[in-house]
Amino acid sequence: MFTGIVQAVGCIATREARGADARLEIDATTLDLGDVVIGDSIAVAGVCLTAVALDGTRFTADVSTETLARTTLGSLALGDPVNLEKSLRLAGGLGGHLVSGHVDGIGLIVSIDDDGASQRWTFSAPSALLRYIAAKGSICVDGASLTVNMVDGDSFGVTLIPHTLAVTTFGARKPGDAVNLEVDLVARYVERLLGDRGPGVHAFGEQA
């Protein structure tokens, strides 16, 4: 479990094909791995991965075929930056919202517009996910917990403050880039309790 508060920006250091799967080595740069042990979970661009090896500032994780197909990890190249967050400790604070690290779908950056010192970002999302995205609700984009400002048709908007742009990968992104999306856990459970009325997230959440 995670909070969606990005702790560091790392990068893809090595990528090894293992059949249809892949083994990624991530340079965590400023992320403190001192309390991480093999088997711990780390969110990489919003995807929950298990550390299978540790070496200084780097950790290694295996990525399944399904996860490569369902998230942006399948298209990341060497050197590409990724948002990183270690799993939530029970004694830690919850600064964002509860995030599972199980990506529900891939969205696209539609537009980026200045709004004073901040920026207004618009994303498109798969139609099956839009029913779970609500104004003033939470959404996780590439591992970052964001508040939804508006929902319009097949898109939704958020405001990114200068701090968020500085400490995440968003500062280097542009319209047309793909992003990992995870909807709010509460929305999933509400639908489940109501009896899964209609198609929804349960069709997407099996990959990681």
Domains annotated for the chain, with CATH where assigned, are 8-86 (2.40.30.20), 105-198 (2.40.30.20)
- pLDDT, residue 96, reads 62
- pLDDT, residue 186, reads 78
Q: Among 86, 107, 72, 81, which Cα is nearest to 3's? A: 86
pTM over 0.85: yes
**Can you tell me the distance from the alpha carbon of 138 to that of 149, in angstroms, rounded to the nearest whole number?**
10
**Can you tell me the distance from the alpha carbon of 24 to that of 15, in angstroms, rounded to the nearest whole number?**
5
- pLDDT, residue 42, reads 97
- pLDDT, residue 183, reads 94
Q: Is 130 left (phi over 0), alpha (psi -120 to 50) or beta?
A: alpha
CB 28 within 8 A of CB 8: yes
Q: Which residue intervals of the chain are DSSP H helices? A: 65-70, 127-130, 162-167, 185-193
- pLDDT tens, position by position, for the chain (208 residues)? 898 999 999 999 999 999 999 999 999 999 999 999 999 999 999 999 999 999 999 999 999 999 999 999 999 999 999 999 999 866 555 566 678 889 999 999 999 999 999 999 999 999 999 989 999 999 999 999 999 999 999 999 999 999 999 999 999 999 999 999 999 887 777 777 777 555 554 433 434 4
φ, ψ of residue 75 in degrees (nearest 5): -110, 0
> E strands within the chain?
8-18, 21-27, 41-44, 47-55, 58-63, 81-86, 105-115, 118-124, 138-141, 144-152, 155-160, 178-183
